[in-house]
Every structure is written in C-alpha cells, then in structure tokens.
Structure 1
Amino acid sequence: MAVKEEERVLPLLPLRGLLVYPNMVLHLDVGRERSVKALEQAMVDDDLILLATQHEVQLEEPTPEDIYKMGTIARVRQMLKLPNGTIRVLVEGLNRARLLEFTETKPYYQVRVSEIIQEENSDVNIEALMRSVLDHFEQYLRLSKKVSPETLSAVADIDEAGRLADVIASHLPLKIEDKQKILEAVDIRERLESLLSILNDEREVLELERKISQRVKKQMEKTQKEYYLREQMKAIQRELGEKEGRMGEVEELREQLEELDASDEVKEKIEKELQRLEKIPTTSAEGGVIRTYIEWLLELPWNKQTEDDLDLKKAEKILDEDHYGLEKAKERVLEYLAVQQMVKRLKGPILCLVGPPGVGKTSLARSIARSLGRKFVRISLGGVRDEAEIRGHRRTYVGAMPGRIIQGMKNAGTSNPVFLLDEIDKMTMDFRGDPASALLEVLDPEQNQNFSDHYIEVPYDLSKVMFITTANTLHTIPQPLLDRMETLYISGYTEIEKERIAKKYLIPKQIEEHGLTKEKLVIHGDAILKVIRQYTREAGVRNLERVFGQLARKAAKQLVTEERKRVVVTVKNIPQFLGPEKFRYGKVEEADSLGAATGLAWTAAGGDTLTIEVTVLPGKGKLTLTGKLGDVMKESAQAAFSYIRSRADELNIDPEFNEKNDIHIHVPEGAIPKDGPSAGITMATALVSALTESPVSRYVGMTGEITLRGKVLPIGGLKEKSLAAHRAGLTHILIPKDNEKDLEDVPESVRNDLKITLVEHMDEVLKLALVRDSS
C-alpha cells in the first residue's frame, strides 16, 4: 500500500473536544480570535486549513505544546457570521497531515505540515479485517441506542479500507484520546486492528450495561407488580367490607415498621416475618403466633430513650425529700450523675441494696428514677425458679412469651429506664434451670449490650439500663452473680432516725390517707418514741407505719362516733389505742450486781442490751451454758473461762476454783436464739465478778470478743449498740480499740451523752467495770 507525503504551509485551527477525519463533512462554530483570523487567511489563500485537536478542552489559548501533532487538512466550504460574533463554518476533511513546526504564532498559528496521501490496494488480510470491523460494528449498533441503524447501510457501501475505518470511528462516541489514536494510525491494517479492538471493548461494556439494565428492570417490574396486586387486593377487600383481613393487618404492621427506630438487623427480621405472615392463610393458627411476635418486636424501645436530668442539686433535693438518712446510697447516685455529666455516656451501674425488710430499698430505687428523670420498672424475683422467666421461652412452645427483662423494657417504653430486680436473694433453682445464672448476662456490663432472649431471637442492648437489685441477705446470692453488682448496705434506722422519719413522712402520710388533718390528730413526741420502743421491733419502718395507720383509724372512729374535734395521743393513753406494750427493751439495773454484766448486742431489728448472769455453785468444775446460745457464744464462754483459769492468781481467785465449783452462765430470755462474736468480755467480766464477789457497775455496758490471752477483738454494729446503751440509760460503754474508726457513725448527740472508752485488754475492762471495795 503506497504512502506519499508532501510538505506545505497552512493556517492552523485548534479544535476543542472535537476531531475531524478525512472524507468527513461537518459544521464548526469558531469564536476565538486567533481561530477566526486563521479561517480568514485560509479563505484568502486556497480555502485549505489544518484542523488539529488540543489536549485539554478547557484551555482557552492553547500553546503549540497543547496541540496534537497529527491533524487533518480540510477545505472550507462555507463560512457564515452569526449575530453573536461566532462564525459557523462547513468543512470537508481531505487528508491526514503530520505537524512539523509552527512557522508563525501571531496573529494566528501558521504551521508547516507533511500531507499524507494514501493509495489503497486491497489484499486478503485487509478484506478480512474490513469484514470483522463491519461485523463488530453491526453488533455494536444492535446493542447501542446512540447510533442510528441507517448508519450501517451507509457504511457497508464503502470499499476503501482506510475510509471505512475513519467513517466508523467518526460515528463512535469515543474519548478524544481513542479517536486521535485512530487518526495517527497511518498504516491501514494498524488502523483497522485498533478500531477492531475498540469496537470489541465497547461491545463488552454494552453487554454488561444491558444485563444490569435487565436486572434492574425485572426488580422494578416485580415491585410494581406486587404493589399493583396489593392495591387490587385492598380494593377488593374494601368492596367486600373485609377491613380486618390478613392484608390489612400486614399493611398496618408494615406502616409501623416504617416508623420504627431500630437497627437494620431488626427491621430485616420483621420484614421477613411479615412476608411469612402474608403467605399464611387467615384461618391458620400459626398466623396469630407470627403476628404476636412481630408486635413484640415493633413495641420494644430499640433506640428510644429519655434524656437524663443531670441537675445534681435537684436530684439531691428529690432524694432528701423522699428519704431520711441512707447517705451512702444517695451519695452513690449523685456520683453516677456527676460522671454522666462529664462523659455523656456511661454504662449503667448495677447497684445491690442490701438490708433488712422495711428500710426503704424499693422506695429508694423509685426515688433514684425520679431524680434521674427516667422511667421506673420493677419486677419481683422472689420464688422465681425457671430460667425462662428471665430469658423467655422459645417460639416453638405453645403460649411462648419473652422473659421478664424484655417485658419490663416494653412496659418502660424507653431503652434506659431504672430497672429494679426486687428480692434477688429469694430466687431458687430446680429441674427447670437456674435463673441466677441467666441473670449473669443481664447484669454483666460487658455482655448485656447483646442480651439474647429466647423468644425475641434478636440481640437487645441493655447497657443503657440502670439496674438496681435488692436483697435482705447476701449469703443466698451465688458468688458469680454477686461479683457483677456493687453492694450498698442499708443496715436499718436508729431510734433517732425512726423518730424523725415518723414525724416527717409516716404520720403526715397516714393522716392524709385517713382523711384527717394535723389539727384533728395530734401525736406527742414522747408518744412516738414509746411506739418505736415498745410497739415495734424492726430495722426498718414498715411496722411503724402500720402502727401509725392503726392510730389514725382509731382516731377517725372516735372523731366520727363521739363527735370530737380532735384526738391527742400521749404516752399515758397509748394503751387505749394500741393495747398493752408488745416489746420491752433493756434498761439499766436498779443496783450494782454480783455476777451480772450488761453486754451490747446487735440484732436485725437494731441494737439492744443483754444481761449475762453467772452463778457459782459447789461442784466438780462443770460449766453449764443456757439461754439458747449459738456456737460462737458457747466458744466465747469457753475462752473466757480458760482465760480466768490462766490468770487466777493475778485476779485474786482460788486457782482450784474449777475443781470445787460448778459454774452456770445464763443469758435471760432463753426462748430467743442468741449468737455473735461480741459477748466474750461481758462473759469474762460476769465470771470474775461472781468469783471475786466484786459487783459490776450497773451504768457500764460493754462489747467485744476475747482471746485466751485476754486481748479484746473488734466487733460490728457499733452504731446500733451505742444507741441501745443510750436508750437503756447506761452512761459508760467499753468498746474494742480497733473500733475507734467506727465512732464517726455514732450520732453526735449519743457521743455527747455517753462516755466511750477504748480498751485493748481484759485487764482494762475489769478495772473499769468492777466496783471493788476500797477498804
């Protein structure tokens, strides 16, 4: 195939985003000043101009380096000036030309080019390439909608291979780089092969586009079909009056799903169940099961939560309004609020309020919810023995339901309530499982963000919940469960606290509930104290409130039947309302006694005094213990006895007293069980008093355990014991030196009235407690 090149000098017209091939006729709009002058020069000369494309479309004034080195020599056929100053030109491409150099750059580009003139001689290879190109172009046209089908018939009549390649390339929507590649292919075989490669790539892209389009179309058709059928079914149901049909149910549930604020996992689960529900006949029982399940999922508060009220002063005021005392529990709540205010996101703490019945554990939890501005939920775990009560039943069972935790969250309506698990120490276990182990996942801050309920089957986040548990004792709570909780002890109220609670909370509440006023029922302060001491015996105030309710009822009856204007309750007339005294409390002895020492005891109902009596009888050294004593107190008596035998000489006691005498130790009120590690020094003092015939001061009380060497060991419940001593009229109490740190818990008024002596050894106790004859 012959190729001839001729040099010539021509004006240059740079093209933007456009490329002209030989034998191609098209219109151009020319507006740039340099391009217009190049056109004018071409019209002056022989109407010939070089058309070359610039690399970057956005360049307004391209430099020689910005223009491709291969262009097309074209003849200017027409030129028309438009009203906006632009010139519209009709050009016809003639031959390819290689740009050799720029001879002038102003006022227009003038270049020296080498015109490429080809003489086409067809051979077998070229013919084969032409047919392949035409075949691929036909397939391209079948897939593409950007080129009209008539183009194929026009292209098929072209015999020259080079021209065929140029015409097909001009019809393809290619990038300028690809079109330029075709233009620069002077060799016809190379040009056809490049075009063939481009057509092949374009065809594959179009095939892929067609597949994607068909897939999208099918999906749209399916969605439209389902929508159309649903609308038809709705219309049919409206006509038949079947508003409560299955489709109506599903549509209603689907509307709720659109408004649900939950994770994609939850929504996908609900949608899947809705699709199952649609396919199940109305008469099928399974439909009701699925609907109930969907409703549970829709009604749970997945992401709905209340905003915490982080005003510490307001929270403190609310807690003080609702409860007197309980300082440690209140302080812990305020600490939580303060940290929440600092970090904005804190895993809910798990508090365990431990204490006797009636001390206000449940009502404190309710007050905590009020102070935080959160919803409050309470479930009682007393007697729960089935694991399914916590984790729910699997949906395969008839009558399956979620566990109490999920039920509580649904009732709360928010994902961050204060959740009270009441009586956690009263759970039991049997063949149905261990509910305490199921609670581990609920109360573990590292696990409860993905709590799994057997019924719900979708993980539920409990990490925002503030869990509070209550218990009367810790020893029945499994250790792994106890390890997840922060324990706060509420030991009970002192007499002083009970008196203030009665005046501030209990009496006003009972007066209001019984339709009375402060003027109609007056209860004197000393009468309140008598009720506390002699009509109730408890650590809390539940029975105390019940007694005041009884007083209010009696007063209401008198006001109605006897037409009285007011009822006054005093110490003297209390038996008229409440009957004889039900309880007695320890009082100071009338005189100093031999072999009788006053000990201080702690019970679940508070502190009390305990007289320990010792009698020495002729005998053979037998030690008798009575008063329904526990093992600890029996061992304390044995330790005191051994200590005295080892110190008989120093204490002026006959060293052989144990061989000549029997000793009987008795603690009065023998029907009541007694035990605890704090009666050692009291027993030793009573023994020494009986053996030395030295009386014990009736105004001295004592508490502490004893060792065989006479050391005094620490005890618990100092606050309650001190109050009992104060109430009994004692003026001097002896306590272990190691309990000095607990003195701050004793009310200041009690510390001022009592002389409190810290002792380390039994010798100090005897010196202070025994009244020895100075003669």
Structure 2
Amino acid sequence: MTEEEKERIVPLLPLRGLLVYPTMVLHLDVGRDRSVEALERAMMDDHLIFLSTQKDINIDEPTEADIYKMGTLTKVKQMLKLPNGTIRVLVEGVKRGQIVDLHDHETYTTVSIETSEDDQTKTAELEALMRTLLNYFEQYIKLSKKITAETYATVSDIEEPGRLADIIASHLPLKLKDKQEILEMLNIHERLQHVIEIIHNEKEVLNLEKKIGQRVKRSMERTQKEYYLREQLKAIQKELGDKEGKTGEVSELTKKIEEAGMPLSVQTTALKELSRYEKIPSSSAESAVIRNYIDWLISLPWTNSTEDDLNIVKAEKILDRDHYGLDKVKERVLEYLAVQQLTQSLKGPILCLAGPPGVGKTSLARSIAESLGRNFVRISLGGVRDESEIRGHRRTYVGAMPGRIIQGMKKAGTINPVFLLDEIDKMSNDFRGDPSSAMLEVLDPEQNHNFSDHYIEETYDLSNVMFIATANNLATIPGPLRDRMEIISIAGYTEEEKLHIAKDHLLTKQLKGHGLSKGQLQVREEAIRDVVRYYTREAGVRGLERQLASICRKTAKIIVSGEKKRVIITEKNLEEFLGKKIFRYGQAESEDTVGVATGLAYTTVGGDTLQIEVSLSPGKGKLVLTGKLGDVMKESAQTAFSYVRSKASELGIESNFHEKYDIHIHVPEGAVPKDGPSAGITITTALVSALSGNVIRREVGMTGEMTLRGRVLPIGGVKEKTLSAHRAGLRTIILPQDNEKDIDDIPASVRKELRFVLVSHIDEVLETAVVGAKNES
C-alpha cells in the first residue's frame, strides 16, 4: 500500500450513540445538515466517508474536541431519502482510521486520516485465543438467548483474528466507551485478550441474573400461593362466622388497646402497629416482633392504681408487727402518709435504705407496701452492667425486650406500686454502657414522669411509684445517683434488739419452716442471748437465724427418731446443739497492756473493733507497717510518728528515740485489707504507750483522725462503731468533739452502759486512755 493510499482526505460523519467496526455492515439515519452534505460529497467521489463517534451525544454541532480521534473509514453502499427529510444509508466498515487533521468547510467537514490494517499472520497463540473466544461466545449465547444460533455459525467461520474480535464485540451489550476502547486497540493479541475478559465477565453477570431470577420466581410463587390460601381462609371464616383467624385476633387486640387506658399518643402508635401486623403474613418474622410489642403496650398499667390506705395508726401497727426497732425508717414512712393525707397529691418519694446485710432492708420495703396498701415489686440490680437491662433493647435486635423497670411495672399491674431496687450499690459498667447513669432518669422526680424505654419507645410515667433502694456501701454509688435519693441508714441491731427479733420473729418462722410446734421445741431467753453472744458476731440477724434453724433441724431429728417428744434449749445444753462456742463475748483485753490500743472501724457489714499493736526493737528509727493497710492508714501512721517526734519531751519520751529504736506497727488479721480515715488517734495512743512504757486501759475504745498538730477531726459511722464496741465489752468510748450530735442516734439501752469521752486534742485522748499520761496541752 502506497503512502497516498494510507493517508487520505475524506468527508466526516459524526455518530451519536453508535460505533462501526471494520467489515461491519450497518444502517444509519442521518438528519443533520452538515452530515447530509458530507454524505452527498462522499457519493459524488468514491463513496468513502469517515465515521467517528461523539463523546457527548447531546451536542448538535461537534468540534474536533467533541469526537474521538480513532474511527472507521466506511463505504456507502446505499442511500435513501425518507419523507421526513432524513436520509437512511447502508455503510460497510473498511479500515480503522485516525484523524490527523480536521478541515471545516462551509457546509460540511473533511478530515485527513491515517488508516491501519490488521496483520493477518496467525500464530499458535492467536489460534488458541480465537478458540477460547469462540468457546466463551458460544456459552454466552446459551445464557443470553438474545443472539441467534445463526449468528454464532456466521462468526465461527471468520478466519481473521482481528475481525473475529471486532464482530464479537459488536454483539456484546457494552457501553460506547468500552466499544471505543476496543476500536482503538491496534494490537490484535491485546484486542482478543481484552474481548475474552469482557465476555467472561458478562457470562458471570448472566449467571448471577439467572440465579436471582430463579430465586425471585420461587419467592413470588410462594407468596402468591400464601396469598391465595389466606384469601380462601378468609372466605371460609366469613362463611362459617369463625373469628379465630387473624381477622378475629386483630379485632380482639383493637378492643384491648382501646380499653387499656393508654395516652392518646401511645394508643395511636399501638393502632398503627396493629394495622401493620394485619397486613404482614403470619409466617414473617416481623409479624411476631410487632405482636410482641403490642402485647407489651396492652399489658402495661397506664391508669390502674391502688388507693393508698392513709390510716397512720394501722400503718404503724403493721410496721411494729414486722420489725423491732428501726424507729427512724418507720417515722419517715408515717411522715409520708401524713403529708399524703393532707395534700392528696404528693409524688412517690425515693428512699435508700443503707446498712449491712441482714438488718431487714428488703423485708422492711415489703412491710411499707403492705402498710400503704400498694402492690410490691422487687428487682435485683446486683451485677447489672448493661445499660439495656434498665432501658431495654431496641426492637431491631433479635430477642429484644423492655428493661427491668418496665418489666417490673408490668408485674406490679398498677401505676403506683412500691418498687424495690435491691443492691443498687452493686451495679457495675463495661463497654455496653453504664446502668447507674440510666438509673438517674428513673430516680429523678423531675424526669421520671417521662421515662423512656428503648423497646417501648413511648414515654412512661413513673412519678407515682414509691421507689425504695437498698445498699450495703454508699461509697460505691456514683455521686449524682446518690444525690437523687433520701438516705436512711440502718446501722445494725443491739443485743437486746436481736433478742426480741429472735423471740418474736425468727424462732416462730423457723418452727413453722421445720414443721415443729411451740410445744415440741422451747428455746429459753438466756439460751437465745448466748446464741447472740457466742455464736454470731454481725450487724444483722441472718447468722442468728441460721443458728436457730440448726437447733430446729437437730430437734426435728430427735423427735422423729423417738428419743424425746419435747426439747427445751437452755444455756446449759446449748453446746449439744450448736457445738463449742465460736466467739468470746467481749473482745476487750483481759488486762491493761503496753502498746496495744483498741480502735473502732466501720465496714460494709457493720462496725468492728480493731487492735493496733506497736513494738520496739533496737535500730535507727525505721518505721514498719504490717497488716495489709491501705494508703490512708499508712499516712495516719506517718502522721502519728511525726507528731510523737515533735512532742517527745512533753510526752515523757526520749527525744532521740528515733535514733535508738525501729518501730513496728501491726494490725492483726493481716489477710484482711484495712483502710479508712479514723485510726489516727488509735495509732498515736499505741505509739505513745510503747515509747513511754505506760499501759493503755483495756476497757477503752477510740475512733478519730488526727492532724500533725494533734487536733482530732470528726469521722463517720459512729452508731455502727459504738455497737461493735458494746458487743466487744468495751465500757469507755473516745469520740471527736464534733461527733457529739451522732450520740443521739445510738440506742438508749447501749448509751446507758457506755461512757462517752468527747475530745478535740490528742492530749485528751492520752489522758483518758493511757495510765500515767498527763494533759500537757
């Protein structure tokens, strides 16, 4: 081929949305004036015209930048003018061509093009590619069903590799941009490989379409079948007057919704959900979710309430009948009743009964509910660490359900129950949220009239509920939550109170539980007192109840075996039933001792006594602390040591003792962690006694923190500590001056057996506790 034949000038016909490959025959409709003029010029010359595709089909008068450089040189085979002015032409692709230059004339456009022909040399690799392409094309035709078998027969006869790729590409549903990319591939090997990749992807898409179609068809058939059967069932139910189907169920639910007394907004939501439920097939998972939600809305109390029994005398009798002592709590409940009787509109209070285990916090809440005539419901919060336990789960989750608050209200059945939140101090948190933060809304009188549960989604009024929380340790309750509750401390029971509780409540309960009558088992008062003194050491009465249960079990065995018909327990035969005494009554030292002081401690299970020992050994002033002490107690020991060094001469101690002795401070029961800010004066007293050689009075117990200058600071837990001192047999209690107000909380029976010494400086402590000490202040 000569250069003149390879490079020529021909008219240009821009195509919109079409592309012509070499050897391809195609009909075109031409309507634009410049395109018609270009056709007529081509017919006047050698019938050759250059076809190039527009990049944007919306442009009517394309410029050089609007058309692709690579196009096809074609021969016009036929031309026919249509009545509407459009010209229909039949063209046949000749060669690939690339625009070198473009010439705009007045009525048409010509282009200088450089043509190229495919290399017809066949290699083994090209033959393999052609076979692969034909094989893929055959599989594609079977899946597509849009291309006839005759087309495949025609294509399979093509011998030229480049032409085969072009013809097959023209039959594929490709975007114009992808077809243009194939047209611009002059390398036959690359063109075949590219078309193979395209047809492979098209096959995968057709396979997926086929699978989806089959799945949709099966689903449609099943849905149509179910619809047909449901319509038949409705017709049968209508003829038989049967209301047991979904129609009857929806009618019944509508009636229940209207009778539930819901607020208008909640009722609207319930009816809307019911409408959805009616339309969804019963086999659908969504149907069960909606039905469960509607059932919850219906079962919640919206208006049902119990009328408060505002008889204060009756309420006081019930509280006194069920509980001995606890005057402060009873007084608070009676105050609430009195105000309710006067106002008729007081919102439910939020009380927190704080105290050690076994003092009757939970049973007291039951008695409050009975005295008010309200329903009682209890939930345990111990170990709850998921916020959803309080607020509920979103309905989008599988197995979602309301939180414990809404569950408790459903169980109560009224809008004004006594709601017990047991062990509120034992909630924790993790990555699922902080349940104590969710409780803030529940226990806030300003917010809980609009409590929001994630499952119910509608606001629920909790303002009429009387919430009572119980806790062992207030320190573990977050400050904002503690601030929302009225704290009522229950310190524990005295020996006399335990004696009355055992006689009037616990023994009767255990006799009934073990099938015994009062005639078969009698426990004398002195025996019960010994059980309290020698077999239990606790703030509550659970251990006491267990010991009485043990007596009842052994008595039941004796009576059933026929040994005796009646058993009487006295202090003389008590050890036969309970074994050797576990505790020694009164933990006070048997004699006055040097370097051993008795401190009073407060724990989550009540008060306790603490022996603090100090010993000296030759050394260079090293201070050793043992007994698993916390940081606060270690700091108290350092403070005591510094104070004694600064006041050594006034206290009758060698001024250089820290150069001659190592000091060891020990608190027995080393396995038990100990910490707190009330051991300062006890450590100081033991240290002064050890260094001066003066003994400490055995009957003296003390509690209080101390500054570096010897001033005694107030502490907490006075009632609990005093009760523990009384149990231990101590007779003199040293308290900070600022704790004088707390003495009134101590039961009168305990106060009259103890001597309280109020101090404001450590010198007063030493004067009272240490034999031989003088007040040098």
TM range (shorter): 0.5 to 0.7
Give the equivalent residue in structure 2 for 1:473: 473
Give the letter aligned to residue 702 of structure 2: M
- For 2:720 and 2:443, locate their aligned partners in 1 and report how far apart those are by CA, in whole Å: 33
Q: CA RMSD in A?
A: 2.7
Per-residue deviation, residues 742-766 of structure 1 (Å, max 9, x unmatched): 2212232333232322222222232
Q: Which moved more, 1:741-750 or 1:411-420?
A: 741-750
Per-residue deviation, residues 682-726 of structure 1 (Å, max 9, x unmatched): 332333333332222333333332322222222333333333433
**Sequence identity of aligned pairs in percent?**
68
Q: Tell me the SS of whatever aligns to 2:362.
A: helix
Give the equivalent residue in structure 2 for 1:391: 391
> Are the equivalent residues in 1 in contact too, given 2:402–2:455 (CA < 8 A)?
yes
- For 1:699 and 1:590, locate their aligned partners in 2 and report how far apart those are by CA, in whole Å: 9
Give the letter aligned to residue 405 of structure 1: I
Q: Tell me the SS of whatever aligns to 2:244.
A: coil
- For 1:663 and 1:654, locate their aligned partners in 2 and report how far apart those are by CA, in whole Å: 14
State the shift of 1:323 in Å. 1.7
Give the equivalent residue in structure 1 for 2:566: 566
| Alpha-carbon distance change, 477 to 607 in structure 1, aligned in 2, over 3 angstroms | closer
- For 1:744 and 1:762, locate their aligned partners in 2 and report how far apart those are by CA, in whole Å: 24
Per-residue deviation, residues 43-82 of structure 1 (Å, max 9, x unmatched): xxxxxxxxxxxxxxxxxxxxxxxxxxxxxxxxxxxxxxxx
Correspondence list, 1:186-201, <5 A: none
Q: Tell me the SS of whatever aligns to 1:475.
A: helix
Give the equivalent residue in structure 2 for 1:373: 373
State the shift of 1:366 in Å. 1.4
| Alpha-carbon distance change, 693 to 329 in structure 1, aligned in 2, over 3 angstroms | same
Correspondence list, 1:432-511, <5 A: 432-511=432-511
Q: Tell me the SS of whatever aligns to 2:580.
A: coil
- Does residue 259 of the first structure (1) align with residue 264 of the second (2)? no
State the shift of 1:282 in Å. 4.5
> Are the equivalent residues in 2 in contact too, given 1:493–1:539 (CA < 8 A)?
yes
Correspondence list, 1:285-364, <5 A: 285-364=285-364
- For 1:427 and 1:343, locate their aligned partners in 2 and report how far apart those are by CA, in whole Å: 36
> Are the equivalent residues in 1 in contact too, given 2:653–2:691 (CA < 8 A)?
yes
Correspondence list, 1:45-60, <5 A: none
- For 1:262 and 1:359, locate their aligned partners in 2 and report how far apart those are by CA, in whole Å: 40
| Alpha-carbon distance change, 483 to 590 in structure 1, aligned in 2, over 3 angstroms | closer
- For 2:710 and 2:322, locate their aligned partners in 1 and report how far apart those are by CA, in whole Å: 47
Give the letter aligned to residue 417 of structure 1: P
- For 1:712 and 1:436, locate their aligned partners in 2 and report how far apart those are by CA, in whole Å: 36
> Are the equivalent residues in 2 in contact too, given 1:270–1:294 (CA < 8 A)?
yes
- TM (norm. structure 1) is 0.65
State the shift of 1:484 in Å. 2.5
State the shift of 1:242 in Å. 4.3
- Does residue 677 of the first structure (1) align with residue 695 of the second (2)? no
- For 2:270 and 2:682, locate their aligned partners in 1 and report how far apart those are by CA, in whole Å: 71
Q: Tell me the SS of whatever aligns to 2:616.
A: strand
| Alpha-carbon distance change, 653 to 561 in structure 1, aligned in 2, over 3 angstroms | same
Give the equivalent residue in structure 2 for 1:550: 550
Per-residue deviation, residues 346-386 of structure 1 (Å, max 9, x unmatched): 22222222222222222222111111111111122222233
Give the equivalent residue in structure 2 for 1:273: 273
Give the equivalent residue in structure 1 for 2:219: none
- For 2:741 and 2:768, locate their aligned partners in 1 and report how far apart those are by CA, in whole Å: 22
- For 2:330 and 2:299, locate their aligned partners in 1 and report how far apart those are by CA, in whole Å: 33
Per-residue deviation, residues 73-129 of structure 1 (Å, max 9, x unmatched): xxxxxxxxxxxxxxxxxxxxxxxxxxxxxxxxxxxxxxxxxxxxxxxxxxxxxxxxx
Per-residue deviation, residues 450-503 of structure 1 (Å, max 9, x unmatched): 222232232222211112222222333333333332222222223332222222
Give the equivalent residue in structure 1 for 2:663: 663
State the shift of 1:767 in Å. 2.5
- For 1:730 and 1:303, locate their aligned partners in 2 and report how far apart those are by CA, in whole Å: 57
> Are the equivalent residues in 2 in contact too, given 1:245–1:282 (CA < 8 A)?
no
- Does residue 639 of the first structure (1) align with residue 639 of the second (2)? yes
Give the equivalent residue in structure 1 for 2:176: none
Q: Tell me the SS of whatever aligns to 2:365.
A: helix
| Alpha-carbon distance change, 513 to 664 in structure 1, aligned in 2, over 3 angstroms | same
| Alpha-carbon distance change, 419 to 750 in structure 1, aligned in 2, over 3 angstroms | closer
Gap runs ≥5 in structure 2: 1-231
| Alpha-carbon distance change, 666 to 273 in structure 1, aligned in 2, over 3 angstroms | closer
State the shift of 1:253 in Å. 1.9
Give the letter aligned to residue 629 of structure 1: L
- Does residue 732 of the first structure (1) align with residue 732 of the second (2)? yes
Give the letter aligned to residue 392 of structure 1: G
Q: Tell me the SS of whatever aligns to 2:701.
A: strand
> Are the equivalent residues in 2 in contact too, given 1:586–1:609 (CA < 8 A)?
no
Q: Tell me the SS of whatever aligns to 2:419.
A: strand
Give the equivalent residue in structure 2 for 1:418: 418
> Are the equivalent residues in 1 in contact too, given 2:436–2:481 (CA < 8 A)?
yes
Give the equivalent residue in structure 1 for 2:607: 607
Give the equivalent residue in structure 1 for 2:760: 760
State the shift of 1:308 in Å. 1.0
- For 2:596 and 2:316, locate their aligned partners in 1 and report how far apart those are by CA, in whole Å: 48
Give the equivalent residue in structure 2 for 1:625: 625
Give the letter aligned to residue 535 of structure 1: Y
- For 1:347 and 1:281, locate their aligned partners in 2 and report how far apart those are by CA, in whole Å: 45
> Are the equivalent residues in 2 in contact too, given 1:588–1:730 (CA < 8 A)?
yes
Give the letter aligned to residue 385 of structure 2: R
Give the equivalent residue in structure 1 for 2:592: 592
| Alpha-carbon distance change, 267 to 720 in structure 1, aligned in 2, over 3 angstroms | closer
State the shift of 1:411 in Å. 1.6
Q: Tell me the SS of whatever aligns to 1:433.
A: coil
State the shift of 1:414 in Å. 1.1
| Alpha-carbon distance change, 572 to 672 in structure 1, aligned in 2, over 3 angstroms | farther
Q: Tell me the SS of whatever aligns to 2:491.
A: coil
- For 2:602 and 2:402, locate their aligned partners in 1 and report how far apart those are by CA, in whole Å: 44
| Alpha-carbon distance change, 773 to 349 in structure 1, aligned in 2, over 3 angstroms | closer
State the shift of 1:257 in Å. 3.4
Q: Tell me the SS of whatever aligns to 2:248.
A: helix
- For 2:741 and 2:342, locate their aligned partners in 1 and report how far apart those are by CA, in whole Å: 33
State the shift of 1:444 in Å. 2.2
State the shift of 1:554 in Å. 1.1
Give the letter aligned to residue 337 of structure 2: L
- For 2:531 and 2:450, locate their aligned partners in 1 and report how far apart those are by CA, in whole Å: 51
Q: Tell me the SS of whatever aligns to 2:251.
A: helix
> Are the equivalent residues in 2 in contact too, given 1:539–1:604 (CA < 8 A)?
no
State the shift of 1:429 in Å. 2.7
| Alpha-carbon distance change, 343 to 671 in structure 1, aligned in 2, over 3 angstroms | same
- For 1:278 and 1:696, locate their aligned partners in 2 and report how far apart those are by CA, in whole Å: 84
> Are the equivalent residues in 1 in contact too, given 2:494–2:750 (CA < 8 A)?
no
- For 1:600 and 1:242, locate their aligned partners in 2 and report how far apart those are by CA, in whole Å: 77
- For 1:642 and 1:578, locate their aligned partners in 2 and report how far apart those are by CA, in whole Å: 49
| Alpha-carbon distance change, 464 to 568 in structure 1, aligned in 2, over 3 angstroms | same
- TM (norm. structure 2) is 0.65
Give the letter aligned to residue 349 of structure 2: P
Q: Tell me the SS of whatever aligns to 2:669.
A: coil
> Are the equivalent residues in 2 in contact too, given 1:492–1:606 (CA < 8 A)?
yes
State the shift of 1:557 in Å. 0.9
State the shift of 1:643 in Å. 2.0
Give the letter aligned to residue 566 of structure 2: R
| Alpha-carbon distance change, 456 to 619 in structure 1, aligned in 2, over 3 angstroms | closer
Q: Tell me the SS of whatever aligns to 2:378.
A: strand
> Are the equivalent residues in 2 in contact too, given 1:494–1:720 (CA < 8 A)?
no
| Alpha-carbon distance change, 308 to 663 in structure 1, aligned in 2, over 3 angstroms | same
State the shift of 1:740 in Å. 1.6
Per-residue deviation, residues 629-683 of structure 1 (Å, max 9, x unmatched): 3333332222222222222222222211221222223333333333333333333
Give the equivalent residue in structure 2 for 1:540: 540
Aligned residues: 543
- For 1:624 and 1:282, locate their aligned partners in 2 and report how far apart those are by CA, in whole Å: 76
Larger Rg: 1
| Alpha-carbon distance change, 745 to 396 in structure 1, aligned in 2, over 3 angstroms | closer
- For 1:335 and 1:388, locate their aligned partners in 2 and report how far apart those are by CA, in whole Å: 35
